[in-house]
Amino acid sequence: MKRIACLFTAELSHRLILLRRYALGTAADVLTFYLVFVGVHFSIRSIVGEVGAADLQRLATSQVVGFLAFYFSSMVLSSIGNYLREGVEQGTLEQLFLAPHPFLLVLGARLISTFIIDVLRVVPLFFLLTATTGVRIAFTPAGLLIFFVLLIGVYGFAVLLGGLTLLFKRTGQLPFLFQVLFLGLGFSSLEGASAGIRVVTAVLPFARGVALLKSTTIEPMSIGSVVASAGFLELGLNALGYVLIGVLFFVWSERVAKNRGLLGRY
């Protein structure tokens, strides 16, 4: 147990040191995300035109919630690829494989540490978004539950991409592709989408969760009724599927990388 605690301390302190050391870069990141939100938010408002105050409130709430979910998912997607790629570039990845833990545990420690840092980073972004849009967002237990299940699916998907990075290394464009897709899904609604698009997005790790999250935030529900809903069941199965596929694919990729001697090569 002490070893695992030390592992988490190693990763968390590493992330905190970098957060402090590169505070300006962190601030620039947050500002960039904020500007992206402002750009998209006001563009959509200008397209929608004059609507009632209640509708505007609903639209803004939906956008803020969608954007925050996108922000976290985006961080998760890029973190694993960056972690592995930087590790190979700096030669530290092989050292991580020499740690007395399964590599997935080391990766898990890094992901949890990154999540904690992302929470710290999102606080100023959250205040900026709510101040700009004037919405008030209540964090309900049901909303938080949906958010965590959504993130679990995204983590599973990111681990799958991590497996690809182990094998092919230069996969930086893949997370970017999905980040753009998630940004679109964070702002848009699938209500008017065709059946085909609905099926495709239902299979993706983000779409179902963010839709459920938006609706739960706009019209609060009890945790019991959320858990009992078909939408949450689908979200849970989706997340579970991605975690299973992600982990299995990563373990397979690790095995192939060791067979082919790819861990130290970029």
User: What letter does residue 204 receive in the DSSP assignment?
Assistant: S
CB of 79 to another protein, least distance (A): 15
Segment contacting another protein by CB under 8 A, of 4-12, 116-124, 164-172, 196-204: 4-12
Is residue 168 a contact point for another protein (CB under 8 A)?
A: no
Distance CA 62, CA 2 (A): 43
| Closest to 235 measured CA to CA, from 171, 139, 153, 164 | 153
**Is 261 a binder of another protein (CB under 8 A)?**
yes
Residue 6 is a binding residue for another protein (CB under 8 A): yes
Q: How many helices (H) and strands (E) does the chain have?
A: 11, 0
Options 53, 98, 131, 230; binder of another protein; rule CB under 8 A: 98
Q: What are phi and psi of 251, to 5 degrees?
A: -60, -40
Single residue of 27, 31, 148, 260 touching another protein by CB under 8 A: 260
Which of 39, 102, 141, 220 touches another protein (CB under 8 A)? Answer: 102
- Does 7 bind another protein (CB under 8 A)? Our answer is yes
What residues between 112 and 151 interact with another protein by CB under 8 A?
A: none
Min CB(7)–another protein separation in Å: 6
In the block, residue with structure tokens 């947050």: 30
Instruction: Work out whether 9 is an interface residue with another protein (CB under 8 A).
Output: yes
# chain residues binding another protein, by CB under 8 A: 32
53 vs 265: CA distance, rounded Å: 57
Instruction: Tell the smallest beta-carbon distance from residue 142 to another protein (Å).
Output: 37
**Of the candidates 207, 211, 155, which has an alpha carbon nearest to the alpha carbon of residue 181?**
207
Per the CB < 8 A criterion, the answer to whether 142 and 223 are in contact is: yes
- Contact region with another protein (CB under 8 A), list: 31-39, 70-78, 114-122, 255-263: 255-263
Give yes or no for residue 224 binding another protein (CB under 8 A): no
- Told to check if 2 binds another protein by CB under 8 A, we report yes
24: contact with another protein by CB under 8 A: no
57 to 96: interface string for another protein, x by CB under 8 A: ---------------------------------xxx-xxx
Range 82-96 burial, b when 16+ CB lie within 10 A, else e: ebbbebbeeeebeeb
Q: How far apart are CA 223 and CA 143, in angstroms?
A: 8
Structure tokens given for 117: 């840092």
Contact (CB, 8 A) for 179 and 74 = yes
Cβ closer to another protein: 13 or 43? 13
Residue 25 found at the interface with another protein (CB under 8 A): no
Amino acid at 11: E
Q: Take residue 87 and report the two structure tokens written for it.
A: 């590790």
Q: Which residue has the tokens 């570039």?
A: 89
Residues of the shown chain interacting with another protein in the complex, contacts defined by CB under 8 A: 2-3, 6-7, 9-10, 13-14, 17-18, 21-22, 90-92, 94-102, 106, 255, 258-261, 263-264
